[in-house]
């Protein structure tokens, strides 16, 4: 994983000025949409099996308690929010913390198991992207009541928006659904999802967003869940699933370019996490890891949730920092730190 440290340095200098100078952080708020990569607790308030409100989740977080984050510690967005100079994290919108002055930090509308496929998200009792936008409209109204029209409009316009989706669409939906595979080829389904992505961004733009970072799909075929579910006789990652993820990433890059032409004042960047994570998985020892094929925690059952950690501390590795993956789908905090470093300068165009 090659990082242009000069660009990272420039980015850090920009943020250091905003933090250490007389001004507030360069973005007035951070607002997130999507799936479990950005869910910081919304699913705690949903009737769904896709929850991280129990130990061992949160073992290495600041509070050493589960918060709803699908990780042993911080997510990539937490690390980036730290760097940007925020002294607290934007709250999950469905939590009691999403009120009063906390709304000035922004909010997370993300919901684990959500994606670009509306029906699949609803089936898993996640908040679909359309529902997340409805909550965002509520947020705007509350913000307006809190600080008035001019300031709320400024916050909405200048905030940083981050979107992460697509993993559940493929790994927990398409590849496990015989009916979907009959209805769509992988390329056709990717086109369907890319169209949904484009429509979501257009609606978000219509609600005032102007600075949007969207994460690419990771190398899905390298996730422990994919290896366990779909590998036949091949070693390493599931190549066909990785190719499908790359194909989707190409489509949203093309869509983002089209959106920039359609809306000249829209700053939108696709943040590549596919290649940095693929290099980590292929050369784990180079980055300080000893295990890149299994999660640190013991996986749950089909009856509970085979993608997530089983409750309790039984079966947890002794050092999560040595594991690329925390559970069978989500990354450890140590990996999130490397990804945060990798995407840091990619977001420079959003400043």
User: Could you read off the pLDDT tens digit of each residue along the chain, which spans 351 residues?
Assistant: 555 554 455 455 555 544 454 456 889 999 999 999 999 999 999 999 999 999 999 999 999 999 999 999 999 999 999 999 999 999 999 999 999 999 999 999 999 999 999 999 999 999 999 999 999 999 999 999 999 999 999 999 999 999 999 999 999 999 999 999 999 999 999 999 999 999 999 999 999 999 999 999 999 999 999 999 987 666 789 999 999 999 999 999 999 999 999 999 999 999 999 999 999 999 999 999 999 999 999 775 555 578 899 998 888 999 999 999 999 999 999 999 999 999 998 998 898
The residue annotated as part of the active site, out of 198, 330, 332, 341, is 330
The residue annotated as part of the active site, out of 36, 95, 216, 255, is 36
Active site residue 4: no
Distance set, CA 103 to CA 31, 87, 110, 133, 229 (Å):
10, 13, 15, 16, 41
CA within 13 Å, CB half, 72: 28
65 close to 161: Cβ distance less than 8 angstroms? no
> 179: burial class by Cβ within 10 Å (0-12, 13-18, 19+)?
exposed
What is the per-residue pLDDT for 235? Answer: 78
Tokens of 295: 């999660």
Residue 20, number of CB atoms within 10 A of its CB: 9
Instruction: Tell the residue number behind the tokens 């970072």, with chain if given.
Output: 213
Element (H, E) at 294: strand 291-295
CA within 13 Å, CB half, 136: 28
Tokens of 211: 């600075």
Tokens of 250: 């190409």
What is the per-residue pLDDT for 8? Answer: 52
Element (H, E) at 155: helix 149-158
Distance between CA atoms of residues 280 and 337, nearest Å:
12
The residue annotated as part of the active site, out of 78, 117, 327, 341, is 327
Single out the residue of 230, 132, 247 nearest to residue 176, CA to CA: 230
Q: For the whole model, what pTM was predicted?
A: 0.93
Active site residue 141: no
Q: Give the domains, in start order, of the chain with CATH numbers.
A: 5-224+239-277+333-350 (3.40.50.1110)
Active site residue 283: no
13 close to 26: Cβ distance less than 8 angstroms? no
What is the per-residue pLDDT for 169? Answer: 98
Tokens of 255: 């869509």
């Amino acid at each position: 994983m090659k990082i242009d440290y000069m660009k990272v340095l420039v980015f850090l200098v920009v943020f250091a000025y905003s933090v250490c100078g007389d001004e507030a952080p360069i973005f007035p708020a951070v607002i997130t949409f999507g799936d479990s990569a950005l869910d910081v607790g919304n699913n705690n308030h949903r009737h769904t099996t896709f929850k991280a409100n129990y130990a061992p989740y949160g073992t290495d977080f600041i509070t050493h308690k589960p918060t709803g984050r699908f990780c042993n510690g911080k997510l990539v967005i937490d690390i980036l929010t730290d760097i940007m100079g925020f002294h607290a994290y934007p709250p999950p919108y469905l939590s009691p913390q999403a009120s009063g002055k906390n709304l000035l930090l922004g909010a997370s509308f993300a919901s684990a198991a959500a994606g670009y496929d509306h029906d699949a998200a609803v089936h898993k009792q996640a908040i679909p992207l359309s529902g997340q936008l409805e909550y965002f409209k509520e947020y705007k109204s509350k913000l307006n009541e809190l600080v008035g029209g001019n300031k709320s409009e400024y916050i909405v316009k200048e905030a940083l928006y981050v979107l992460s989706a697509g993993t559940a669409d493929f790994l927990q939906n398409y590849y496990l659904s015989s009916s979907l595979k009959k209805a769509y080829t992988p390329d056709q389904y990717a086109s369907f999802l890319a169209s949904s992505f484009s429509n979501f961004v257009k609606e978000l733009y219509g609600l005032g967003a102007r600075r949007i970072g969207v994460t690419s799909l990771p190398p899905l075929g390298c996730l422990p869940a994919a290896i366990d579910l779909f590998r036949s006789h091949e070693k390493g990652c599931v190549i066909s699933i990785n190719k499908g993820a790359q194909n989707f990433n190409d489509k949203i890059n093309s869509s983002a370019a089209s959106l920039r032409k359609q809306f000249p004042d829209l700053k939108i960047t696709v943040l590549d996490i596919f290649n940095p994570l693929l290099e980590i998985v292929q050369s784990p020892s180079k980055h300080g890891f000893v295990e890149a094929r299994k999660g640190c925690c013991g996986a749950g059952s089909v009856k509970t949730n085979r993608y997530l950690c089983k409750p309790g501390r039984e079966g947890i590795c002794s050092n999560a920092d040595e594991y690329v993956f925390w559970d069978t789908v989500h990354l450890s905090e140590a990996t999130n730190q490397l990804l945060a470093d990798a995407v840091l300068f990619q977001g420079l165009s959003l400043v």
